């Protein structure tokens, strides 16, 4: 597959399965960590620095497509608790990042455009490929997209949202925020909305994210012309953020 004149590929290995995913963007970098030696008695300045470890930090941005759907959905659900491996072919170098975990993720899209997932991750192990490492170029197939009626707010499908992002951060506490962009117009259910009980985001009738108990965090409005007012509302998700996929039987199930 050619991306901006290159042939970079990236594959995700988890649950004993290797999956090629669309290569959109990656910022994974390897950093040496340093620690200060404590100063001697009677001195203020530390003696010096010693190598304190090795860290892999960054993110991968990918479109969500038919062949990568199960792997990405499973990673969204368990990636902060279970480790995974990435095989990255940058052409100029080939690296394997092992024992990675997610520190957060974002799912976003513009209306009538492809669905993207950003996976923020960290780890402490990176090696070069050997001759046995497989390289799986992603093959062209259908990408999931965001359309009108894909977002349902308390039972009402919206046809007025032109952009959304759902961000989830892991740490001592889990933070989940849904951001909705829409033009202000009479009769929109979001106009005076401060709380939402249930929100579902369904893409291609194959991927669904269910959110419960949402509280308004912020409201912003601006205009770029004399006609239309553009609104951004951010909601904090206080309870469930459930990722499910539709299986071959037509049932919505949690991905492994």
pLDDT digits (tens), the chain, 256 positions: 334 435 789 999 999 999 999 988 899 998 866 556 666 566 665 555 555 567 899 999 999 999 999 999 999 999 999 999 999 998 888 999 999 999 999 999 999 999 999 999 999 899 999 888 888 888 888 899 999 999 999 999 999 999 999 999 998 899 999 999 999 887 777 888 899 999 999 999 999 999 999 999 998 877 666 677 889 999 999 999 999 999 989 999 999 8
Q: What is the pLDDT of residue 186?
A: 79
Q: Structure tokens of 174?
A: 């889990």
Give the length of the chain. 256
* pLDDT for res 68: 94
pLDDT score of 246: 95
Structure tokens at 41: 């008695």
Q: What b/e sequence results for 68-91 when a residue is b if at least 16 CB atoms lie within 10 Å of its CB, and e otherwise?
A: bbbbbbbbbbbbbeeebbbbbbee
pLDDT at 3: 42
Q: Can you give the pLDDT at residue 70?
A: 95
How many CA atoms does the CB half-sphere of 167 hold within 13 Å? Answer: 10
pLDDT at 210: 98
Ramachandran area for residue 175 (φ above 0: left; ψ -120 to 50: alpha; else beta): beta
Closest CA to 183 of 127, 155, 238, 223: 223
For the chain, give the longest Cα–Cα distance. Answer: 73
pLDDT at 1: 36
Instruction: Give the chain's domains with CATH numbers.
Output: 1-126 (2.30.110), 146-256 (2.30.110.20)
The structure tokens 């203020």 sit at: 44
Output the pLDDT for position 200: 98
- In angstroms, the CA 21 to CA 140 distance is 10
Q: Give residue 221's pLDDT.
A: 78
CA distance 83 to 80: 8
Q: Which helix (H) or strand (E) holds 78?
A: helix 69-78
pLDDT value of position 31: 82
Count helices and strands (H / E) in the chain: 1, 20
Whether the Cβ atoms of residue 109 and residue 164 lie closer than 8 Å to each other: yes
pLDDT of 225: 61
Question: What's the pLDDT at 178?
Answer: 98
What the block records as the tokens of 244 is 């499910």
| Tokens, residue 202 | 């369904």
Confidence (pLDDT) at 41: 61
Q: How far is CA 191 from CA 151, 163, 179, in A?
A: 16, 16, 14
């Amino acid at each position: 597959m050619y991306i901006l004149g290159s042939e970079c590929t990236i594959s995700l290995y988890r649950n004993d399965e290797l999956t090629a995913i669309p290569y959109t963007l990656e910022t994974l970098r390897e950093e040496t960590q340093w620690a200060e030696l404590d100063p001697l008695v009677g001195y203020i300045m530390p003696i010096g620095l010693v190598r304190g470890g090795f860290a892999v930090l960054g993110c991968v941005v990918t479109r969500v497509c038919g062949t990568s759907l199960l792997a990405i959905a499973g990673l969204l659900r368990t990636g902060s608790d279970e480790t995974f491996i990435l095989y990255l072919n940058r052409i100029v170098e080939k690296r394997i990042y092992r024992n990675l975990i997610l520190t957060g993720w974002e799912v976003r899209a513009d209306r009538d455009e492809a669905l993207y997932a950003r996976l923020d991750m960290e780890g402490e192990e990176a090696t070069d490929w050997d001759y046995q490492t497989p390289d799986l170029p992603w093959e062209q197939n259908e990408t999931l997209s965001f359309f009108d009626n894909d977002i349902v707010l308390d039972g009402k499908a919206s046809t007025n949202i032109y952009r959304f992002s759902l961000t989830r951060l892991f740490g001592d506490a889990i933070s989940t925020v849904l951001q909705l962009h829409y033009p202000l117009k009479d009769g929109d259910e979001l106009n005076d909305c401060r709380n939402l009980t249930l929100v579902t985001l369904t893409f291609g009738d194959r991927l669904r994210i269910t959110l419960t108990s949402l509280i308004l965090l912020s409201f912003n409005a601006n205009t770029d012309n004399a006609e239309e007012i553009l609104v951004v509302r951010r909601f904090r998700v206080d309870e469930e953020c459930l990722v499910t996929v539709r299986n071959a039987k037509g049932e919505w199930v949690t991905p492994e």
